[in-house]
Amino acid sequence: MFKSQISRDEVRSAIEDKLCAHFGVTSRDASDAQVFQASAIVIREIMSRLMAFGETKKSDREVHYLSMEFLMGRSLMKNAFNLGISEALTGALADLGRNAADIFEAENDAGLGNGGLGRLAACYMDSMASLGIPATGYSICYELGIFRQKIVDGKQTEVADDWRTAAESWLVARNDEAVEVRFGGHIVPHWDSFGHYYAEHVGYSTVTAVPRDMLIAGYKGDEINTLRLWDARSTTALDMYLFSEGEYVKSLEQRTMSEVITKVLYPADDHIQGKQLRLKQQYFFVSATAQSIIKKHLERYGDIRSFALHHVIQINDTHPTLVIPELMRIMMDEHGLGWDEAWSIVTKAVAYTNHTVMSEALEKWPQELIQTLLPRVWEILCEINRRWCEYLISQFGKSEKVGRCLIIQDDGVHMANLCLAACFKVNGVSALHGEILQKDLFADVCTLRPERFTYVTNGIDHRRWLAQINPRLSELVCETLGSEAYLTQPSELQKFAQFADDGTVRDRVNEIKLLNKADFAKFIYKNDGFVLNTEAILDVQVKRLHEYKRQLLCAMLISRLQNMLHDNPNMPFTPRSFVFAAKAAAGYRTAKRIIELLCSLANDVNNDPVCKGKLQVCFMENYRVSAAEALMPASQVSEQISTAGKEASGTGNMKLMLNGAVTIGTLDGANVEMFGQLGEKNMFLFGLHADEVTALRSSGYDPRKYVECDAELKAVLDRFSRGFADGKSYSDLVSGLLYNGDAYMLIADFRDYVNTHDRLYGVISDKNELARLSIVNTAKAGVFAADRAVAEYAEDIWKIKL
């Protein structure tokens, strides 16, 4: 039973009222954007009332989920679905003479994230609300998000991504809960007669953090949680003296410097100004959050000493790690606790989720930057490091292990090591990832504190990523299982496997996939002007662009297929369409070159007469949640081909599996657990294992020897070096593989990859077998639901009873 019972007529009347009250227009004259905003305000007010008057639990223990990213996507359809009023909303829009799809399309994706990290956080917010866990998410209210990707002359160009229309519809400013965040200045030390130290912070500049809250409805509306986004505002709107003197630009300088903090997600940091802005963002975010949590705690409980009993702070990757010294600062400087007492509280309240196994990706801040921007935090970090160093020496002696684990070393502050020193739990995000953390990346500390290490395999919002975006398949699942139970019990999906050999169900699955491909063909034509061959197998690699994810390896496969067709145009060949989608970080030059190569390759293949009707390639511009929602239901082959031992987990692999795509991949990240569910008959594995990658590298890996023995591989690399029809050469990328060590083992895995690909297509050329594989993949995906993952966090880490 849904909490919100509201009829189609009531929704229509409410939308009409909002159009008049907020925009001064009737439904007849309103634009689609205005109708979207009015609809969003109606939904937001329903959630507000449920929060105010509903049976929201007053739990004695709350979760605070800190993440620099929350990749929410569009919210109108999702919130209506969770509140149980999707049909009422769709019907009301029809009564107003509007197509619901057009209104949903009028909403911009919320620009609060980049990739899997942010999408995971969004899925967990949904599951925490759906499972009835009182929780608040915290992040930054980025004005322009990551960026909107434009492909210009075959190259990625970053354009500001303005999502403010959607933001104004969902976010509510809580000006009465604004806090101040301090930067710069210096510390004046004071000692009292008892030898106690007091730090006086002087000469600082101040930025006001204003919370803007987005409500998150759980499925069936049983719990309404909050995502709190911090907006940066200057304490001085305008320097009137400078303005009066005609210095108009200079009069706004302080305001501009304050508000730039929340302009964009992940500003380029390949220069000192970018590093400084990123550090400001992170401290602004955690300081405001810590102040807010402590203030509310004191309002409810009155005693700062009980903080850890009532709160657990989960930091999603290392970006929010400065919350540790910030909590210490507030407890000592503002509430008078001694060091030992404050440390005891903080270390019982903060847990850390790691998201990378690559040591070079672990955050490290220049010491001088923290000293200058955050002088009091620097003092606290020095004391944490001193005590941590003493502890390490007591355990390891004067070993090199001590140096590896220090928080402050080599003129840098290592965020992951701070987490190891302070957090009561450190978790990986897949079984393999957890093992690598314990046996390799954090092995030294794990030997001292093994009970603090665990893993929770990532999960996805199965209601969004199946029921909402793929209603045809969801209806078939419910029809065959006889109920909608899987929506709240994702393990029920397992029963769908019973129909894998049912000819009627197989036919329905193939029919649904074809209809979904037709829908996606419309989307990609509108998005990219690309005419998709809906009769071909849709083979996709969609994820953040990084060298270890090996989009370049898939490009090598495609070039080999093109060469094969030229050598033998009449060969038996299952038609296939490859779709890539990825954003590269603005300062990541190699990743941007790989995008350029993919665009050159697509242009070459798509204009090659030999490939017509057989082979297509498209690089889909501006990958985002709404694009993924269009693509996932149509996809048939999922490329999960990262170098073994490099991917922490992945969630795109789970979404594609849930929608029935067949995976070709390495034993990396959550692929390991997917293989455990599917077995070798239903998943196509290739490549070196993580330990084999390490062993090969140690033995003196020479990629040129592989090329000498493989004519097809040599032909592919020669083609990349010569260039494509557009005249662009990619000899720099080839040199990186051949002469710079091939860091991610593309050359070593190439032959096994292409052979496995051939085997995969040999199997799925049979439509009945393709349907069987699709059914089994959907059925086995229930274990990867976010509901399961969040329940594990609640039981094993947060100690919250469901």
Active site members: 355, 543-544, 549, 651, 655
Instruction: Give the E-state strand segments of 653-734 in sequence order.
Output: 662-665, 684-685
Give the contacts of 699 (CB within 8 A, at least 6 positions apart).
none
φ/ψ region of 593 (left if φ > 0, alpha if ψ in -120 to 50, else beta) reads alpha
Q: Which two tokens stand for residue 720?
A: 């990349």
Strand 637-640 and strand 537-542: the pairing is parallel
What are the b/e assignments for 512-533, b being 16+ CB within 10 Å?
Answer: bbeebbeebbebbeebbebebb
Instruction: Give the DSSP letter of residue 108.
Output: P
Sign of the C-alpha dihedral computed for residues 700, 705, 706 and 707 taken in this order:
positive
Whether residue 780 contacts residue 657, with contact meaning beta carbons closer than 8 Å, is answered with yes
Residue with tokens 């923290």: 370
Computed on alpha carbons and rounded to an integer, the radius of gyration of the chain in Å comes to 27
Strand order in the sheet with 576-581: 615-619, 576-581, 537-542, 637-640, 662-665, 684-685
User: What residue type is assigned to position 301 of the chain?
Assistant: Y
Residue 217 three-state SS = strand
Determine phi and psi for 572, rounding to 5 degrees.
Answer: -60, 130
Determine phi and psi for 578, rounding to 5 degrees.
Answer: -95, 130
Give the C-alpha distances (Å, rounded to integers) separating 60 from 83, 157, 291: 26, 49, 19
Q: How many CA atoms lie within 13 A of 726 on its CB side?
A: 19
CA max distance for the chain? 93
User: What residue type is assigned to position 702 of the chain?
Assistant: D
Does an H or E element contain 339, and which? helix 339-349
Q: How many CA atoms lie within 13 A of 554 on its CB side?
A: 34
User: What residue type is assigned to position 458 of the chain?
Assistant: N
Strand 172-173 and strand 205-217: the pairing is antiparallel
